[in-house]
Structure 1
């Protein structure tokens, strides 16, 4: 009879602990609300993006205390720094850290065409910014973009 009573008390303790853990668990993470590609120097307002040139991508989250954001290019003809360096050498699950509600990465399109960049935290996806990339030549801080 004591084994049965011990089993019931242990089961009740497990249920109570699970309920308390669920009740005090943090809420689901906030989401990415915006993604922006900052045009570089020398592109001009009509053709601001050039292949081979590097641009800053900024993802903004709805909560400043988020841990990380992933940023991808659906075109796949591009590189991201430092993500690809870290993915290849240190951590295959790297995400850009969020600093004051913003995650940053350097994006270099390697081919002209339409590029759709998405920033996300979950498999539900996130906002997408689509930009047209023309042939370009990087000049360090600037870029010459073909019209």
Structure 2
């Protein structure tokens, strides 16, 4: 449960460069939730910030589905697991390992547990560059090994 509290606290302080305050999570990692549309239960295996809201990644038996806070009902029950705590939290500043000539800092805007490993959604470019472009993805999902923490 400590990991979830840390992630929640980090999220509150993340005030992205474009000046918006990002709201707290509605769901904790590994919390059991009810998916209204599918009428079934699953577990939250990640989340990401997308178009002004949190999108929750819910793990079912054979797939991962996405849902907003309006598509789920939280239960408060946590799945017992032995998964290692993620190396990076929402709001951490990171750089891509292979981006050395540019050394551009990026923000972690999401995380997801897939195939026994953590992946991180990092900001690819600021939404301030072209906020009206919805077809261009402003973030990218990368493996932990591809990131380096930036100390501030």
Q: Which is higher, the Rg of structure 1 or of structure 2? A: 1
The TM tier, using the shorter chain, reads under 0.3
TM-score by length of 2: 0.20
TM-score by length of 1: 0.21
